[in-house]
């Protein structure tokens, strides 16, 4: 085929390649040379200048990030030259810092590994899990959020990650190193034993020493067979009054008497409801408990009890 042209131009890492009609290829080449080459050349000049500066500075191994090449040096501080790492583990290293919050624990654990390898330590959320496991510390509920808060505080920062690997890598920042090196261990505060509220022991009922055999119950209807709790309570009070075992009754006394002497279960509300008819009872404050009241049967209540006995003859 006539007037066909194949052209390839390479300047450093910048390439131009075209094939086709000679006129069209020539026009594309001219555009490339006029607009792209000057910019690319300027860029390459900058790269060469940077690389020349790096060679002149001769960086040490402590300025190179582990597993990362051609990246700027990351913060690193060797403040533990005198530490014998063969006799130090994470637990013993952290002991000198006292009690640490979860945020500080992660930061100081990363710093421990950085001191061991004598270069900037790159870590991820997976490494945080290992920190907790290594010291047998209860794991934090959300390690990603913990790292996020450390970044927000400026104590750690994103590590170079040109390949976009996951999980995201981090490294201790310069502010983080300063925070660690100026850290003052907090005084251990002994946790006060939490007060457990103990309900006040109820005063023993004055009827606690009484037993059913002292009441001559064979003379009376079985209280547990009565239909209403009101009838049961009033008849119980009546029996103790007639048998001269007592005359005044606090609510707590009724709560003791009913199950222990008459095999009838009652609640506080049931007992309170039995005393609603004020005219049936004489009510006064209890001497042994200012918050309680005591009751005794008046004539109407006694008549009611006698009617129950008459209607339920033994």
- The 10s digit of each residue's pLDDT in 22-37 is 788 777 777 776 666 5
Share of the chain above pLDDT 70, in %: 76
Is 130 contained in some domain?
Answer: yes
With a cut of 80, say whether residue 71 has pLDDT above it. Answer: no
Do 170 and 250 belong together in one domain? no
Is the pTM of the predicted complex or chain greater than 0.85? no
Of residues 255 and 11, which shows the higher confidence score?
255
| Lookup result for tokens 């003791």 | 256
Give the mean pLDDT of the chain.
81
Do 216 and 307 belong together in one domain? yes
Give the residue from 165, 181, 197 where a domain finishes. Answer: 181
Q: Which of 8-22, 33-47, 115-129, 279-293 has the lowest mean pLDDT?
A: 33-47
| Lookup result for tokens 């029996």 | 239
pLDDT of residue 199: 47
The pair phi, psi for residue 133, each rounded to 5°, is -65, -40
What pLDDT, in 10s, does the model give residues 276-294? 888 999 999 988 887 889 9
- Read off the pLDDT of each residue in 8-29 and give the average, rounded to a whole number: 74
| Residues 61-70 as b or e (16 or more Cβ within 10 Å = b) | eeebbeebee
Task: Compute the distance between CA of residue 90 and CA of residue 105 in angstroms, rounded to an integer.
Answer: 10
With a cut of 60, say whether residue 61 has pLDDT above it. Answer: no
Of residues 147 and 63, which shows the higher confidence score?
147
pLDDT of residue 66: 45
Do 222 and 171 belong together in one domain? no
- Read off the pLDDT of each residue in 106-118 and give the average, rounded to a whole number: 90
Is 204 contained in some domain?
Answer: no
With a cut of 60, say whether residue 79 has pLDDT above it. Answer: no
Domain of residue 106 covers 85-181
Residues 6+ apart with CB under 8 A from 293: 250, 251, 283, 284, 285, 286
Of residues 12 and 68, which shows the higher confidence score?
12
Residues 6+ apart with CB under 8 A from 157: 151, 170, 171, 173
- Read off the pLDDT of each residue in 238-265 and give the average, rounded to a whole number: 92
Do 89 and 165 belong together in one domain? yes
Is 114 contained in some domain?
Answer: yes
Is 291 contained in some domain?
Answer: yes
Read off the CATH number of the domain in which 176 is found: 1.10.10.10
**Tokens for 195?**
């007060």
Do 167 and 220 belong together in one domain? no
With a cut of 50, say whether residue 4 has pLDDT above it. Answer: yes
Is 73 contained in some domain?
Answer: no
Task: Compute the distance between CA of residue 187 and CA of residue 300 in angstroms, rounded to an integer.
Answer: 72
| Backbone torsion region of residue 182, taken as left when φ is above 0, otherwise alpha when ψ lies between -120 and 50, otherwise beta | alpha
For the chain, the straight-line distance linking the first and the last C-alpha, in angstroms and rounded, comes to 132
Give the residue from 138, 164, 181 where a domain finishes. Answer: 181
Give the confidence band of 129 by pLDDT, cuts at 50, 70, 90: very high
Give the residue from 132, 162, 181 where a domain finishes. Answer: 181
Of residues 26 and 128, which shows the higher confidence score?
128
The domain tally of the chain equals 3
Is 198 contained in some domain?
Answer: no
Is 203 contained in some domain?
Answer: no
Give the DSSP per-residue string, the chain.
-TTEEEEEEEETTEEEEEEEEHHHHHHHHHHIIIIIHHHHHHHHHHHHHHHHHHHHH---GGGS-TT--S-PPPP-----TT--GGG--HHHHHHTT-S--HHHHHHHHHHHHHHHHTSPPPB-HHHHHHHHHHTTPPPPS-HHHHHHHHHHTTSEEEPP-TT--SSPPEEE-HHHHHHHHT--PPPPPPPPPPPPP-PPPPPPPTTTT--GGGGTGGGS--GGGSSSHHHHHHHHHHHHHHTTS-S-EEHHHHHHHHHHHH-----HHHHHHHT--GGGEEEEEETTEEEEEEEEE-HHHHHHHHHHHHHT--
Do 13 and 54 belong together in one domain? yes
Do 173 and 230 belong together in one domain? no
The pair phi, psi for residue 151, each rounded to 5°, is -65, -45
Is 80 contained in some domain?
Answer: no
């Amino acid at each position: 085929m006539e007037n066909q042209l194949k052209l390839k131009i390479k300047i450093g890492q910048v390439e131009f390649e075209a094939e086709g009609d000679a006129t069209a290829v020539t026009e594309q080449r001219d555009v490339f040379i006029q607009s792209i080459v000057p910019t690319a050349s300027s860029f390459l000049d900058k790269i060469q200048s940077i690389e020349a500066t790096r060679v002149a500075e001769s960086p040490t191994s402590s300025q190179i990030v582990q597993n990362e090449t051609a990246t700027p040096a990351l913060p690193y501080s060797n403040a533990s030259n005198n530490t014998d790492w063969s006799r130090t583990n994470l637990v013993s290293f952290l002991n000198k810092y006292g009690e640490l919050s979860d945020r500080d624990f992660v930061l100081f654990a990363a710093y421990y590994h950085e001191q061991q390898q004598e270069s900037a330590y790159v870590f991820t959320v997976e490494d945080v899990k290992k920190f907790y496991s290594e010291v047998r510390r209860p794991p934090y509920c959300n390690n990603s959020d913990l790292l996020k808060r450390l970044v927000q505080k400026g104590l750690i920062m994103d590590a170079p990650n040109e390949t976009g690997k996951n999980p995201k890598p981090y490294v201790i920042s310069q502010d983080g190193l300063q925070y660690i090196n100026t850290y003052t261990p907090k005084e251990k505060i002994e946790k006060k034993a939490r007060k457990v509220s103990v309900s006040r022991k109820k005063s023993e009922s004055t009827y606690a020493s009484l037993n059913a055999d002292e009441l001559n119950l064979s003379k009376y209807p079985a209280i547990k067979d009565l239909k209403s709790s009101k009838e049961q309570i009033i008849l119980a009070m009546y029996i103790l009054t007639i048998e001269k075992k007592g005359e005044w009754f606090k609510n707590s006394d009724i709560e003791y008497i009913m199950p222990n002497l008459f095999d009838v279960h009652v609640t506080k509300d049931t007992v309170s409801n039995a005393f609603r008819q004020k005219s049936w009872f004489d009510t006064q404050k209890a001497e042994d408990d200012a918050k309680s009241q005591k009751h005794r049967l008046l004539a109407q209540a006694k008549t009611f009890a006698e009617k129950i006995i008459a209607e339920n003859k033994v």
